[in-house]
Amino acid sequence: MIVTTSALTLFACGGGSDSNTSIPTTPEESSPPASTFLISTTVGAGGSISPTSASVTEGETATFTLAMEEGYEIESISGCNGSLTNLTYTIGEASTDCEISVTFLLTPPDEETEEEGEDSGETNLEDNLGEQKTLVALIGFKNQENKITRQQAHDLIQNNPNSLNTFIKENSNNKTWLESDVLDWVELDKEADEYFSADNYDNEKYHDDAIAAISNLADLASYDRLILMGSRSERGNPGCYAYQTKRYVGPDNHYFGYFAVMGGGGLDDDVVGCLTPGRIAHEYGHTFGFGHIFETDCAIGDLPQSLIDRHFDNSCQNKGYWETYDTMSFDVNYPLYSTIWRSEAGWLEDDQVTVVSESGLYTLTQASLSSSGTKLLKIPIGQGLEGKQLYYYVEYRKKLGGFDEEEFIAKSQEYEVLVRHTDFNGGIENKDKITYGYETAEGIREAITPLDVGQDFVDTYRNLSFRVERLYEDQEMSVADIRVSLPALTILPSYVYRFSANDDQEQTVTLKNTSDDSWVVSSLTMKGRHPNAFAVSNENCIDQPIMPQGKCEINVSRVRDTASLGLLAISINDGDILHAAELMGESLLIETEFDPNAPLEWQDYTSQYAKDINWEDAVAYCHDLSFNSHDDWRLPLIEELRAAFQQSSTPLYNITTQLWSISEPAGNLYNAYYIDGSEAWYNGDKLQKYNALCVRSQ
Ligand SMILES: [Zn+2]
């Protein structure tokens, strides 16, 4: 099925608006009663959004789920300061009535299907190698001054030591190069603000019109890549962006291929414009399938943040893309495409990428020079949810290339051993999409870190470490020796165990001894955000020696039906080694239809309820409650609470504190709904401490 995995392939890189995600917040207890705002939606043909509108309390956020008809993908979505993750659009904190606008694009079915599935890498790989016949079209708006000449555009792309072509050749070890044609200015019939203004951003119309305007001037079908290049306009700009996958564009699908838009900015603009070598290389990099380097900030307790499925994590903030010296981060630092991208593009030789299979010393040669030797170490850290191997990526950079001499000379004596970490960035729909970052021993992730000589990089959750043991010069080449210590025990088959409605509610965690020593499991402990949601259902491995190459199986059960995240911490030899298997449970609660007439018995609010407990404890408290000769108590639905206690009803009691409900927002492992006696109800972090008033159906 194509449509369910269609990610947004538009990479908008200008203006920073895509790094502006708000963190949903939990209202402070002292907040005054908040206003609510209407979030409305407009939807183009080919898909839908759910819900179609929502009433959201001031300061709160809300999520909307997109669905496409077969053959459609998301073309654009905007409004309400939102951000899109896969098919979930999360608005910023509500402060006014606003509208979400989404359009869908019909994807021609033939070649696009190759973008999906296991074969897509090979398809893209071939596309990324050899001559890239590139058409550069200078597109002007009506009544706009055109700031660069055709010759200047040609120089930027093809013709000088700083050109895009030089950069691509350098980065690809001469495996890829450009052969470009530059079309002189073509003026559109419309002025810039007819496409782009404060309340209108119609880039698809701009593409159509631009391509219609050039379709008689060039044989578009003969080009692999297309760059639409313009000048800055005070009255509206296309921005700078690229499409990562091939697509049809133009009014009659005139062009099929990869393309990038360099809409605004002159050569000498001091503000960020599109027509700088770095920005051009950045956008062109997207057309090879290179993504951004993401940095996340997830405050989720002692769960390893490395493998969190962020689809469920609305407390994770996407802080944008940034990494020193990677063209795919901020393009002002554009020395090179990272080795990861170059590896994925097929621009490194097979013997320049080493997958570490055993502990030992590995030598990295500097990534930025064309030379033999290993340019990239890939240290396996487990499997993704669909079996994709995940790695730490380690590369060594020094004396970066020559794309921008001024930029590099100042930095040329710096070295960096860079570590990245694969990470889920998706969810149910996009399980194996990955971004890169790393996790320190303290659990703080950053996009990237330089390692110093003698400094250990420790991943306590996998009992894996490495260090830069030595740096030395070998003639012109700088070389780094990396000592890698792999875990003595490996957790199989994966580091993430997902419990869903379709799974057996027991999972087997297999420990395999990959070392030459025997080990004894000394303890098994449930940790993580919701430790009480899971339990070890056999302790076979405890106190048993696991011989070299031997295995031991631990069964883990789900004991709560609520959405939850846990961590099975495995101590070996009295704590010498700690391993952790991540446990992730989707909510199994069957939606109870709320019946306002159903007779309910409540706990006595004046004396009986549980105070200051987190949500999971609240669920357990009611579950375990034996009161008034009954033991079938439960935490109430949010609708039951509202009907019984809110000001809009005739409340049983005038409550003044927060009461948890058992209701969880869809697709969110972290939050649950509660009320506080006002008109509003809230969606709050389950770790907050509120109160539990139990109910039972009579
Ligand atoms: Zn970008």
Q: What is the pLDDT of residues 217-226, one digit of tens each?
A: 999 999 999 9
Residues with Cβ within 5 Å of ion ligand 1? 11, 13
Give mean pLDDT, residues 171-182.
94
pLDDT of 29 over the 80 cut? no
Residues 77, 257, 430: CA angle, nearest 5 degrees: 50
Centroid of ligand 1 to alpha carbon of 658 (angstroms) = 43
353-355 and 376-383 strand pairing: parallel
More reliable by pLDDT, 364 or 430: 364
Q: Which CATH architecture has domain 600-697?
A: Roll (3.10)
Which pair of structure tokens corresponds to residue 358?
Answer: 């055993």
Which pair of structure tokens corresponds to residue 537?
Answer: 């259902």
pLDDT of 301 over the 80 cut? no
Q: Which CATH architecture has domain 3-106?
A: Roll (3.10)
**491-585 is a CATH 2.60.40.10 domain:** yes
pLDDT of 502 over the 60 cut? yes
Question: From the CA atom positions of the chain, what is the Rg in Å?
Answer: 28
State how far the Cα of 1 lies from the Cα of 540, in Å rounded to an integer.
42
Centroid of ligand 1 to alpha carbon of 239 (angstroms) = 11
List Cβ neighbours of 109 (8 Å cut-off, separation of 6 or more). Answer: 2, 71
pLDDT, position 580: 78
What percentage of the chain carries pLDDT values higher than 70?
72
Centroid of ligand 1 to alpha carbon of 671 (angstroms) = 32
Centroid of ligand 1 to alpha carbon of 279 (angstroms) = 9
pLDDT, position 622: 94
Centroid of ligand 1 to alpha carbon of 334 (angstroms) = 12
Centroid of ligand 1 to alpha carbon of 272 (angstroms) = 13
Q: Is the dihedral of CA 354, 359, 361, 367 positive or negative?
A: positive
User: CB of 262 within 8 A of CB of 229?
Assistant: yes
Phi, psi of 365 (to 5 degrees): -95, 155
Centroid of ligand 1 to alpha carbon of 62 (angstroms) = 26
Alpha helices in 435-570 (DSSP H): none
Q: What is the pLDDT of residues 123-141, one digit of tens each?
A: 467 889 999 999 999 999 9
Same fold: 491-585 with 600-697: no
Q: Is the pTM of the predicted complex or chain greater than 0.75?
A: no
Confidence category of residue 657, pLDDT binned at 50, 70, 90: confident
Among residues 205, 340, 230, 214, which one has the least CA distance to residue 280? 230
Centroid of ligand 1 to alpha carbon of 243 (angstroms) = 10
pLDDT, position 324: 56
360-365 and 477-485 strand pairing: antiparallel
Centroid of ligand 1 to alpha carbon of 366 (angstroms) = 25
State how far the Cα of 69 lies from the Cα of 75, in Å rounded to an integer.
13
pLDDT of 107 over the 50 cut? yes
State how far the Cα of 518 lies from the Cα of 43, in Å rounded to an integer.
61
Centroid of ligand 1 to alpha carbon of 11 (angstroms) = 5
The single-letter DSSP state of residue 271 is S
Domain ranges within the chain, ordered by starting residue: 3-106, 128-286, 294-480, 491-585, 600-697
Centroid of ligand 1 to alpha carbon of 262 (angstroms) = 11
Give mean pLDDT, residues 85-94.
81
Centroid of ligand 1 to alpha carbon of 153 (angstroms) = 20
User: CB of 208 within 8 A of CB of 255?
Assistant: no
Distances in whole angstroms, Cα of residue 107 to Cα of each of 6, 113, 228, 393, 514 = 10, 9, 21, 34, 47
- The one-letter amino acid at 282: H
More reliable by pLDDT, 477 or 156: 156
Which pair of structure tokens corresponds to residue 563?
Answer: 């959405």
State how far the Cα of 559 lies from the Cα of 361, in Å rounded to an integer.
44
